[in-house]
Amino acid sequence: MHNKIIKKIGFASLIMGVSVFSSRIIGLVREICIAYAGGAGGSVDAYQVAFIIPEILNHAVASGFLSITFIPIFSDFLVADREDEGWRLFSIILNTSGLFLIMLIALSLWYAPYLVRLLAPGLTDPELFSQALAMTRIIIPAQFFFFTGGLFMAVQFAKERFFLPALAPLIYNAGIIAGGLLLGSGMGMEGFAWGVLGGAFAGNFLLQYIGAKKAGMKLTFTLQPTHPGFIKYILLTLPLMAGLTMTFSTEIFLKYFGSFLPDGSIAALNYSLRIMFILVGVFGQAVGVASYPFMAKLASKGDMDSLNEILNTTLKFLALVIPVSVLFMVLRHEIVMLLFQRGKFDHEATRMTAQVLPFIMAGTFAFAAQTVVVRGYYAMGNTWFPTLFSTLSVAGSIPLFFVFMEMLGASGVALALALAALINTGVLFALWNRRTMNPSAGLYGFFLKIIAVTCLMGGVLTPAVRTLQGIFNNLEPTGAVFVSLITGCLFLGMFTISGKIFKIREISLITEKLTAIPGRLFRKWQK
């Protein structure tokens, strides 16, 4: 194994992990502010619906995939010592795709009323529809900042610079919060929409432009759509533009199917999804983003053994999110109450969200693992197969949503999301193993061991929480705090002991690192 690469990935993962964790915390603050201002009611549903068209635009130009599609191409120029040609291609992609996006933005603004009706057909209340339409038109232009900023971040990643890109989600979320706090009293949820636009400009565009310039960016206003590199980029990106990934489909399906359910259902689903994405971001996104540039370079050299070793090691550590997910399930009521129950977010809103949370948490590992598995394909320059497979998987999962929605309402939509993600990620990884001859038998055994340990922990934690809820008044914040703290300590004890009893090296390594932190801080304080 290339120890130097692993150390670099570890350092980059630390930077991105701190960024993702911080952004998730700020994202939680954002959701808390939204919950305080709108609760789990119709105005929050309208605010969430306002993101559907912008998300489709973002997907249409593959803004979320720019690091994935551009880094391998740009890395080839760097490895071949042809950096100037790489910057020329960068300018061509930015200018050509940017003009295309501007035209899509103009069309979306004009046809917004028809598109909102099409994509959220259950939103029939005239007032809520009007709110959703107004906020949609505010948020749409932000997609230009996401696209250009995505390219600026991609070149920084390719140059192994992670700090300024790590700040992007923090500033973006801070902008949303500022918009809601400063404008919310007069504009309601529309204040948060203006915050989206401002945060995207400051964090994703302006700051990343500065970072790209520091990385040596040479930007020229060149249009050459026949450039071989641009054609290669389009061929890599086209399936991602046309295809349906699980993450993208989750956001769309949540709002589409939620629009048919009672008011507040979209809000409850969204709050639960954001809680789940905290774990996905910390366990999956940070490692996936940080490891990808190194995976791309290994793929360029044809070193598949090292690439698979990185992939398998990463997935082992990601599997530790499974027991943490169960902890969130058993503490669902306490977590939702402590995070959101204030202002307009009342006991009923807590009950609705807590009811949905366990179902959506069931897909946590699948969403986290997917961020790494698909990057294996992308590092190989193969965007067509995983995207085509995901599109077919998403299309095949649609009946699940209808069936479970009829049976369980909002909880059924959450369950369908989790099952679709599990099936998609599991099969995609199995196909990767077959294609690359990845020695994964030990990895599957590791997953089974973690699942068995998790079931054991869940069997102890569930009655323990019920007992604690009987002792403390968990309908009040103080009682919820005591239940959560005691359960959390019990979980950490069981988590640590299980690592030693079942000889799970990854658990022991994590607990050793965590327990060493207080000692390091004390020694630094003494100095």
Is 0.95 surpassed by the pTM of this model?
A: no
The pLDDT score that the predictor gives to residue 6 is 47
CA distances from residue 194 to 40, 211, 252, 506 in whole angstroms, order as listed = 20, 25, 21, 44
In DSSP notation, 64-133 reads: GGHHHHHHHHHHHHHHTT-HHHHHHHHHHHHHHHHHHHHHHHHHHHHSHHHHHHHH-TT---HHHHHHHH
pLDDT tens digit sequence for 37-75: 888 778 888 998 998 888 888 777 655 556 667 777 777
- Can you state the angle between helices 410-436 and 384-408, rounded to 10 degrees? 150
The pLDDT score that the predictor gives to residue 5 is 47
- The helix (run of H) or strand (run of E) holding residue 398 is helix 384-408
| CA–CA distance, 201 with 196 (Å, rounded to integer) | 9
pLDDT tens digit sequence for 326-377: 999 999 999 999 989 888 888 888 999 999 999 999 999 998 888 888 888 8
The domains of the chain are located at: 3-439, 448-527
pLDDT tens digit sequence for 392-404: 888 888 899 999 9
* 3-state DSSP of 331-374: CHHHHHHHHHCCCCCCHHHHHHHHHHHHHHHCCHHHHHHHHHHH
Q: How many helices (H) and strands (E) does the chain have?
A: 25, 0
Q: What average pLDDT score do residues 165-183 get? A: 89
Mean pLDDT of the chain: 82
Instruction: Yes or no: say if 300 and 72 are a contact pair by the CB < 8 Å rule.
Output: yes
